[in-house]
Amino acid sequence: MSASEQDVVVRLTGITKSFLGVPVLRGVDLELRAGEVHALMGENGAGKSTLLKVLAGVHRPDSGRIEVNGEEVVFGTPREAQQAGIAIIHQEFNLLEHRSVAENVHLGREPVRRGRVDRRRMEEDTRKLLDWLGEDGIDPAAPISRLSVAQKQVVEIVKALSTDAKVLAMDEPTAALADQEVELLYDLVDRLRKRGIAILYVSHRMREVFDLSGRITVLKDGAFVTCAPTTEMTSDQLVRHMVGRSLDALYPDRATDEDLGEVRLALRGAGNQRVREVTFELRSGEIVGIAGLQGSGRSAIARAIWGVEPFTTGTLELDGVARRITDPRAAVRLGIGFVTEDRKSEGLALRQSIRDNALLVRRAALPGSAGRKRSDLAALLKSVTVVARGEHQEVRYLSGGNQQKVVLAKWLAVGPRVLVVDEPTRGIDVGAKQAVHRLLRDLARQGVAVLMISSELPELIGMSDRILVVHEGAIAGELPAGASEEAVMGLATGHGIGEVA
Amino acid sequence: MSVVQQKSEVARGAGRGGARRFSLTPTPTVTVYLALAVLLVVGSVLVGIQGGVLLDQGGILNILTRSTVLGLVAVGQTIVIINGSLDLSVAYLVGLCSLVAAETMAGSDGMMVPGVLLALGVAAVVGLVNGLVVTVLKVNAFIATLGVALILRGYLEENYTGPAGSVPRAFQHLGFDRVGPVPIGVLLMLAIAGAAWWYLRRTRGGYHMYAVGGDIDVARLSGVRTGRTIVTAHVLCAVAAGLAGVFLAGRLGSGAPYVGTDAGYDLESIAAVVLGGTALAGGRGGVVGTIGGVLILSTLDTIFDDLAVDPFFKDVVRGVVLIVAVALYARRQLSRRSG
Ligand SMILES: Nc1ncnc2c1ncn2[C@@H]1O[C@H](COP(=O)(O)OP(=O)(O)OP(=O)(O)O)[C@@H](O)[C@H]1O
Ligand SMILES: [Mg+2]
């Protein structure tokens, strides 16, 4: 036996799994070695999360073997998998909003002393892990509901680490993180790897996969395609394995002068609790990007425009008319659409069908017969490439990326004149990402004004006709199309253009 | 490195803002006791205008006595509601357990302990059934416990027409004796409430109950045995209701089949729990608030009795109080979320 053979911590062979007779995994093999980062790639709905859930004891495989340290195991519950040293960071947040950070981290494994939960030790342990990660901004006693999305992700990681796992599987851990925070995660993954932990890494971001992983396994439609060392694969090959064809890496053409129309949306000195003195114009036909660090106020601007947390000072003009938008309904009726960054809690009615979700806004906010129209549903879903069993499938059973596409469809259904998109491609695979990019550009060509927030700088730069950079609640500057990442980061971190700390 | 530092600065700033908002809006528990204090003052004034006194020893005793049985049932109800479940069978269970206790004792001193134990045993079994129907058969708790309630009612209607059994004199003391100025029943209720508080807030089992009620999927994926947790909650709730039945048997001198339903302990206990700030959806709240809710309800009753208002008006006020309370808690939640 070779040395690497002995290092195998987990081996999955021939795993199959069907839901209601529909096969989702068809004989998948996977092998995780100690101290190795193993990337798992595949399109939306390929079965990556399902495979992780099989490993985590959430789903029982229909057939196939799971071996841990050479011995066959059967996990009946997540608890058993946990006890075997397997920790999973699921694709969707797995935290209790109203409990504290420490309580969440130790959930199910609370330390007990003399019959009572040792809260102090819980908080100390959590603090130690947070320190080890270099995160001192999170109070172990604070409730989860007060944390930002990125901080929640950190808590998820701490929660997984606290189990003393030998195997750590992460399902798109960076989907909620901005580029800068991804660096933090890189560092973390590296340290875990050196500790001899086997890491399974699922991500749609090519760059991460090539930076981090030692080997890559590709799934397509639930079947095993290939497994190869990362060094022996190019990103082009990888895409071909995943999508079945190659993709050009180009973004759609930017708006020309003819494309640009009237000023659709104008903010003048607008502000509220989170942001101040926001002034910019958005023309029909253009895509304006908003860049900034997590928590800088990017999303706050979007949410204010849409009336969730309205502006309290300054003016907002729509087609030259000053408007006060105090709730989302008013925004929808004025032709503003908003794709939220938090699809699970704000974007979808998880227990309703794809069709009901896609038509939700149209039915709720549009008056008269326009609200009841549904003939174009199929075309709508196709334009965002939703992969599902049918339009009656409940949204909660869709893969993460496909859920995101339904959120997009929901807004396309009402034909907004201003579309605000917050992380529109979060969790979407490479092929579909390109489809979304084209879609946004097509919308712009048809005269829609698009305001786009994205934590993925290449995407933001590639798509935007102009970029506004937000820093600590105010606009720090504006950059033209095709600005460099350094320029954006410089402004975003509060330095001048081009200097990065 | 500066990126990280800046981020944590922003986070801290947000935390401060949140803390400020937090301290402005009191927690439901604080609200309940503030409301109780206001109610006592207003009640005293109103009763005083009519020439009576609300808070003399008799009045206080009256409020506390009224709170005893409802308190016991509501503490149990709090536990299931925190789990995101519900128990509608408690009212019949109270009657059933009073009968089991009184009939087993049948007037003999020696049978007191077996009577109590048997009654609590029966309660535990009913709770177990509730819990298993909810977790194993996956029937919605509302329907599951309603079904069990109907079964209990059928049994009671078939076998009893009125009070039955008798408890020995010694046991009746439980219903009426006092330690100093405080009735034993009140002490019993507070002891149970204290134990429930300890269990929910200090033990692992209690932590898991909040987790299950907060989000059952999160709890399960985190390794909590969710089924076991819910079943435990139902058993504890039923035992608390059983204890209420046993206590009532002591006070009445015999078992009474409809003693629980006549007082409407099923809905009344849920009202007290919700009034006390526990979220009906589960995951938030606690026993302390519930006791406050119980005290408010029984204070209202006492005030109305002193003022001799008609029953219709009484129910209207209770209804309004409940709705206003829940609306207040909902507002608070909204303001927290937008923060
Ligand atoms: N509990 C379930 N019931 C029914 N179907 C399910 C269930 N869970 C997943 N599926 C289906 O299984 C398929 C694979 O889903 P999975 O979440 O594993 O995809 P994925 O590779 O993680 O995709 P993404 O990149 O979008 O996260 C999807 O078609 C999904 O609809
Ligand atoms: Mg997935």
Q: What is the pLDDT of residues B119-156, one digit of tens each?
A: 999 999 999 999 999 999 999 999 999 999 999 999 99
Instruction: With CB atoms and an 8 Å threshold, state whether B211 touches A96.
Output: yes
Question: How many other C-beta atoms are found inside a 10 Å radius of the C-beta of residue A171?
Answer: 23
Instruction: With CB atoms and an 8 Å threshold, state whether B3 touches A273.
Output: no
Pick the more confident residue, A29 or A2: A29
Specify the pLDDT at position A263.
92
CB B273 within 8 A of CB B225: no
| pLDDT 10s digits, A385-423 | 888 888 888 988 888 888 888 888 888 888 889 999 998
pLDDT at B213 over 50: yes
Query: Which of A17, A20, A50, A60 has most ligand 1 atoms within 8 Å of its beta carbon, as the pocket-test mutant?
Result: A50
Query: Which residues 6+ apart lie within 8 Å of B312 measured at CB?
Result: none
Rounded distance between C-alpha atoms, residue B206 and residue B200, angstroms: 4
CB A481 within 8 A of CB A448: no
Least confident span in A236-240, B42-46, B100-104, B330-334: B330-334
Specify the pLDDT at position B195.
97
Closest to B203 in 3D by CA, of A115, A99, A125: A115
- Residue in chain B closest to A135 (alpha carbons) equals B8
Closest residue by Cα to atom 28, ligand 1, is A45
Pick the more confident residue, A181 or B22: A181
Mean pLDDT of A452-480: 90
Instruction: With CB atoms and an 8 Å threshold, state whether A108 touches B9.
Output: no
- Residue in chain A closest to B15 (alpha carbons) equals A146
- Residue in chain B closest to A310 (alpha carbons) equals B338
Distance in Å, CA B46 to ligand 2 centroid:
63
Residue A22 alpha carbon, nearest atom of ligand 1: 5
Counting ligands in written order, which one lies closest to the CA of residue A22?
1
- Residue in chain B closest to A56 (alpha carbons) equals B221
Rounded distance between C-alpha atoms, residue A73 and residue A428, angstroms: 33
Rounded distance between C-alpha atoms, residue A141 and residue A99, angstroms: 9
CB A169 within 8 A of CB A56: yes
Closest residue by Cα to atom 2, ligand 1, is A397
Question: What length is written for chain A?
Answer: 501
pLDDT at A1 over 90: no
| pLDDT 10s digits, B250-299 | 999 999 999 999 999 999 999 999 999 999 889 999 999 999 999 999 99
Number of alpha carbons in the 13 Å side-chain half-sphere of residue B326: 14
Instruction: With CB atoms and an 8 Å threshold, state whether B223 touches A108.
Output: yes
Counting ligands in written order, which one lies closest to the CA of residue A51?
1
| pLDDT 10s digits, A263-298 | 999 999 999 888 999 999 999 999 999 998 877 888
Specify the pLDDT at position A496.
67
Task: Indicate the residue type of B272.
Answer: A
CA–CA min distance B265, chain A (Å): 29
pLDDT at A374 over 70: no
pLDDT at A151 over 80: yes
Supply the Cα-derived Rg of chain A in whole angstroms.
Answer: 23
Specify the pLDDT at position B257.
94
| Minimal Cβ distance to A294: which of B7, B207, B283 | B7
Distance in Å, CA A233 to ligand 1 centroid:
26
Q: How far apart are the first and last CA of chain A?
A: 49
Ramachandran bin of A473, using left for φ above 0, alpha for ψ from -120 to 50, beta for the remaining angles: left
pLDDT at A182 over 90: no
Question: How many other C-beta atoms are found inside a 10 Å radius of the C-beta of residue A18?
Answer: 13
Rounded distance between C-alpha atoms, residue B181 and residue B162, angstroms: 33
Q: Would you call B338 exposed, middle or buried from its count of C-beta atoms within 10 A (0-12, 13-18, 19+)?
A: exposed
| Minimal Cβ distance to B3: which of A82, A137, A180 | A180
Confidence of residue B338 (pLDDT cuts 50, 70, 90): very low
Instruction: With CB atoms and an 8 Å threshold, state whether B225 touches A77.
Output: yes
At A323, give phi and psi (nearest 5°).
-130, 150
In this structure, which topology does domain B3-18+26-338 adopt according to CATH? Answer: ABC transporter involved in vitamin B12 uptake, BtuC (1.10.3470)
User: Virtual CA dihedral for B169, B173, B176, B179, nearest 10 degrees?
Assistant: 160
Mean pLDDT of B206-230: 94
Same fold? A2-248, A249-492: yes
Residue A401 alpha carbon, nearest atom of ligand 1: 26
pLDDT at A499 over 80: no
Please state at what angle helix B311-337 crosses helix B2-24, rounded to 10 degrees: 160
State percent of chain B over pLDDT 90. Answer: 67
Specify the pLDDT at position A4.
54
Characterize the bridge pairing of strands A223-229 and A215-220. antiparallel
pLDDT at A85 over 50: yes
Residue A42 alpha carbon, nearest atom of ligand 1: 21
Instruction: With CB atoms and an 8 Å threshold, state whether A78 touches B283.
Output: no
Closest residue by Cα to atom 7, ligand 1, is A397
Least confident span in A100-104, A399-403, A443-447: A399-403
Counting ligands in written order, which one lies closest to the CA of residue A432?
1
Query: Which residues 6+ apart lie within 8 Å of B21 measured at CB?
Result: B335, B336, B339
pLDDT at B197 over 80: yes
| pLDDT 10s digits, B27-36 | 888 889 999 9
Confidence of residue B118 (pLDDT cuts 50, 70, 90): very high
pLDDT at B58 over 50: yes
Kindly report the average pLDDT of chain B as a whole number.
88
| pLDDT 10s digits, A61-71 | 999 999 999 89
pLDDT at B248 over 80: yes
Domain ranges of chain A: 2-248, 249-492
Pick the more confident residue, A359 or A321: A321
Specify the pLDDT at position B159.
94
State percent of chain A over pLDDT 90. Answer: 41
Distance in Å, CA A400 to ligand 1 centroid:
7
pLDDT at A134 over 90: no
Measured between beta carbons, the chain B residues lying within 8 angstroms of A139 are 15
Query: Which of A19, A171, A217, A351 has most ligand 1 atoms within 8 Å of its beta carbon, as the pocket-test mutant?
Result: A19
Q: Is the dihedral of CA A381, A385, A387, A389 positive or negative?
A: positive
Rounded distance between C-alpha atoms, residue B60 and residue A160, angstroms: 53
SS (H, E, C) A433-501: HHHHHHHHHHHHHCCCEEEEECCCHHHHHHHCCEEEEEECCEEEEEEECCCCHHHHHHHHCCCCCCCCC
- Helices marked H in A74-218: 78-83, 101-105, 119-133, 149-161, 179-194, 206-212
User: Virtual CA dihedral for A148, A152, A153, A156, nearest 10 degrees?
Assistant: 180
Specify the pLDDT at position B11.
38
| Tokens (6 digits) for A154 | 């950190």
CB A209 within 8 A of CB A429: no
Residue that has been written with the tokens 């046991």 in this structure: B171
Number of alpha carbons in the 13 Å side-chain half-sphere of residue A125: 20
Specify the pLDDT at position B112.
92
Instruction: With CB atoms and an 8 Å threshold, state whether A112 touches B204.
Output: yes
Mean pLDDT of A307-321: 90
Distance in Å, CA B28 to ligand 1 centroid:
40
Instruction: With CB atoms and an 8 Å threshold, state whether A183 touches B339.
Output: no
Least confident span in A349-353, A428-432, B221-225, B260-264: A428-432
Closest to A273 in 3D by CA, of B46, B31, B339: B339
Query: Which residues 6+ apart lie within 8 Å of B9 measured at CB?
Result: A137
Specify the pLDDT at position A376.
78
pTM: 0.81
Pick the more confident residue, A166 or A244: A166
SS3 A33: strand
Specify the pLDDT at position B339.
35
Rounded distance between C-alpha atoms, residue A392 and residue A356, angstroms: 8
Confidence of residue A372 (pLDDT cuts 50, 70, 90): low
Specify the pLDDT at position B331.
73
| Tokens (6 digits) for B9 | 């600065």
Specify the pLDDT at position B180.
82
Residue A222 alpha carbon, nearest atom of ligand 1: 14
Instruction: With CB atoms and an 8 Å threshold, state whether A135 touches B8.
Output: yes
Q: Tell me, what DSSP letter sits at residue A230? A: G
At A107, give phi and psi (nearest 5°).
-55, 125
Residue ranges lining ligand 1, Cβ < 6 Å = A 19, 24, 42, 44-50, 91, 397-402, 427, 429
In this structure, which topology does domain A249-492 adopt according to CATH? Answer: Rossmann fold (3.40.50)
Question: What length is written for chain B?
Answer: 339
Confidence of residue A5 (pLDDT cuts 50, 70, 90): low
Measured between beta carbons, the chain A residues lying within 8 angstroms of B17 are 273
Mean pLDDT of A129-139: 84
Question: If you write DSSP's letter for every residue of A317-338 in order, what string do you get?
Answer: EETTEEE---SHHHHHHTTEEE
CB A182 within 8 A of CB A216: no
| Tokens (6 digits) for A149 | 């999305």
Query: What class does CATH assign to A2-248?
Result: alpha beta
Specify the pLDDT at position A185.
84
SS3 B86: coil
Specify the pLDDT at position A400.
80
Pick the more confident residue, A387 or A82: A82
